């Protein structure tokens, strides 16, 4: 008997999003330079081997976080391609010297607070596609339980203010991952931006908003710069190319 075909979720297919943070152990940098160079190239070639339906981007956190050097952002319509990629990476020589201090899993979906009106930005689609802006800011997010006790129309009113503030910063694109039941967090937020200053101003303006009163957790926060995987690995290795 064949396995049953999974039913399609309401609203159509949803992308799975995964943010994996790697830390290079100090002992790796004491290995011979030629060995490290070969291992970096093996890791990069493994990452670049095609996997159907999988998108990925790499970012450097060197100099921005003490416990993370590299971010791998993966997007796929199913979990299987993401697992395949990580399985391949686990077989590389470099993987033996990599820790994963943070790892976040979520899914995209259309925001319930948008109603039926057209909306071209965040929350309007169950797909996620990188815009390839220079910076990515990532953090998990949990709301206070009181939030879910509010009437739905009250939550929608509060979120409307949140959306209006965000619309004043068109160069910042938000990618929300919903993690209910999938991971420890409720949401994984990722913001693409052209520069850190604009994102800082956006977050500062959101702080006094009504929605912020219902925030329970929004740390750790990661500031990452998009970078070719070879360049990011060399920087983490202490051998910028």
Q: How confident is the model at residue 207 (pLDDT cuts 50, 70, 90)?
A: very high
Percent of the chain with pLDDT over 90: 83
Asked if residues 101 and 8 have their Cβ atoms less than 8 Å apart, the reply is no
Q: What is the mean pLDDT of residues 208-231?
A: 96
Number of domains in the chain: 1
Confidence of residue 30 (pLDDT cuts 50, 70, 90): very high
Enumerate the active-site residues: 139
Q: Tokens 């929350």 sit at which residue?
A: 123
Is 174 part of any domain?
yes
| Residue 7 located in a structural domain | no
Q: Of 179, 156, 159, 158, which is closest to residue 109 (Cα–Cα)?
A: 179
- Is 4 contained in some domain? no
55-71: b (≥16 Cβ within 10 Å) or e? bbbbbbbbeebeebbbb
Percent of the chain at pLDDT above 70?
Answer: 89
pLDDT for residue 26: 94
Residue 190: domain span: 12-241
CATH code, domain with 210: 3.30.70.1030
What is the mean predicted confidence (pLDDT) over 155-171? 93
Q: Is residue 5 part of a domain?
A: no
């Amino acid at each position: 008997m064949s396995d049953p075909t999974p039913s399609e979720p309401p609203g159509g297919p949803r992308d799975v999003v995964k943010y994996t943070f790697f830390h290079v152990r100090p002992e790796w940098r004491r290995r011979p330079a030629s060995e490290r160079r070969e291992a970096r190239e093996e890791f990069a070639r493994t990452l670049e081997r095609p996997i159907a339906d999988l998108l990925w981007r790499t970012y450097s956190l060197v100099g921005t976080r003490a416990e993370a050097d590299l971010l791998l952002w993966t997007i796929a319509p199913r979990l299987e391609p993401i697992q395949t990629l990580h399985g391949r990476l686990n077989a590389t020589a470099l993987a033996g010297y990599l820790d994963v201090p943070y790892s976040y899993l979520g899914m995209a979906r259309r925001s319930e607070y948008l109603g039926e009106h057209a909306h071209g930005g965040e929350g309007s689609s169950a797909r996620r596609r990188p815009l390839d802006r220079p910076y990515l800011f990532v953090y998990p997010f949990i709301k206070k339980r009181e939030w879910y006790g509010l009437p739905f129309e009250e939550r929608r009113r509060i979120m409307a203010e949140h959306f209006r503030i965000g619309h004043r910063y068109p160069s910042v694109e938000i990618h929300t991952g919903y993690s209910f039941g999938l991971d420890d967090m409720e949401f994984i937020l990722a913001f693409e931006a052209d520069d850190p200053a604009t994102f800082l101003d956006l977050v500062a303006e959101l702080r006094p908003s009504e929605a912020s009163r219902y925030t329970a957790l929004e740390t750790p926060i990661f500031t990452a710069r998009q970078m070719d995987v070879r360049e990011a690995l060399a920087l983490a290795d202490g051998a910028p190319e």
